[in-house]
Amino acid sequence: MAPHESKGRPGRAHAHGSSAPEELHHEAQTALAVGDLEVARIAIERLGRSLEMHFALEDRVYFPALATLRADLAGTLQRFREEHDSMLTYVTEILAALAQQDATAAAEGLDDLITIFLRHEGREEAMLGALERREEI
């Protein structure tokens, strides 16, 4: 488990091992590296579903709950929602590249996506960490 996952929130999609976006990214890249586009496609589709579940939980459960407690976070939460949508668009574009047999574009898109995802996760964790510390004082 990567260090940034060590204090994940309960019920997070990537707490379930094989559906972790990082693992599916690795699985897809490995398949692309050996030219197995079908295995890559399956891993990328699973990655997309994993992200969809993960984002839906935040958009529909965590963020609305947070927004009722902290109206000042509305702008931050909206930005996170927009990033969710943007990352799902990336998945669609990666699958489109793959459908064109463009493994290079798919691999580059996958690396961009996972980098954006991990940065996004880091900023969400930082926000939650700050909220938790404030609540405990």
The whole-angstrom separation of Cα 109 and Cα 92 is 10
Q: Residue 89 Cβ, how far from Fe ion at the closest point, in Å?
A: 15
27 touches Fe ion (CB under 5 A): no
Cβ atoms within 10 Å, residue 91: 20
User: What is the total count of residues that contact Fe ion (CB under 5 A)?
Assistant: 1
Q: Residue 34 Cβ, how far from Fe ion at the closest point, in Å?
A: 31
At 130, the amino acid letter reads A
The whole-angstrom separation of Cα 67 and Cα 111 is 32
Judged by CB under 5 A, the chain residues 56 through 75 that form the site for Fe ion are 58
Per DSSP, the three-state class of 137 is coil
Closer CB to Fe ion, residue 46 or residue 123? 123
Closer CB to Fe ion, residue 27 or residue 58? 58
Q: Which residues form the interface with Fe ion (CB under 5 A)?
A: 58
